[in-house]
Amino acid sequence: MYQMNHQTSTPVNYKKHMRFDMTALIENNISIKTDEYVILDWAHDLACDGSHPSVVEAGIEYFELSADRCLQELPTLGVGSKQSIQKKFERLVRQGLLVSHPYQKNRVAYYGFTSKAKKLFTHFGLLDSTDTYEISEQAKVVSQMLKQIKINSSN
């Protein structure tokens, strides 16, 4: 159990592992703060799990990214407010790593990954040969197994 400013227990669902590809950052001349990279990695995980709401427009897939969910799943960032997370999303847009979509549902923004951002994750085998977020059958099975484990552990 850890204790951050206003949190006293470990949340049920939070990001425990992070991929950090320093080579991809250097090769693609990407300068990014660690907390922004963690948020981008978190968003990438959501996109890859195949169960997250998305909208496709003009060949770009936009994913629903909730600042509330980000706060819940990334408690160790120490970011205290939803507005702070939203500002980090906006900074990732300004850096050319995310692209925002004007469509919003229940005040949740949708973002797509730019080709620049996708370069950070290609070494991890999460993108298919068409550079899209199609989930492999193996990844779908693993995702379903993890969901079942969560369900069983909460009962």
Structure tokens at 62: 């936009």
Domain that holds residue 149: 22-154
Alpha-helix residue ranges (DSSP H) falling in 1-155? 22-27, 34-48, 67-73, 82-94, 115-118, 137-154
- Please state, for a pLDDT cut of 70, what percent of the chain lies above it: 62
Band (pLDDT 50/70/90 cuts) for residue 91 is very high
For residue 7, the model assigns a pLDDT of 46
The CATH number assigned to the domain holding 108 equals 1.10.10.10
87 in a structural domain: yes
Q: pLDDT per residue over 92-134, tens digit each? A: 999 999 999 876 666 678 999 998 888 887 765 444 444 445 5
9 in a structural domain: no
Q: Which residue has the higher pLDDT, 118 or 139?
A: 118
5-14, 19-28, 41-50, 109-118: the lowest-pLDDT one: 5-14
Q: Which residue has the higher pLDDT, 24 or 130?
A: 24
3 in a structural domain: no
Structure tokens at 134: 């199609």
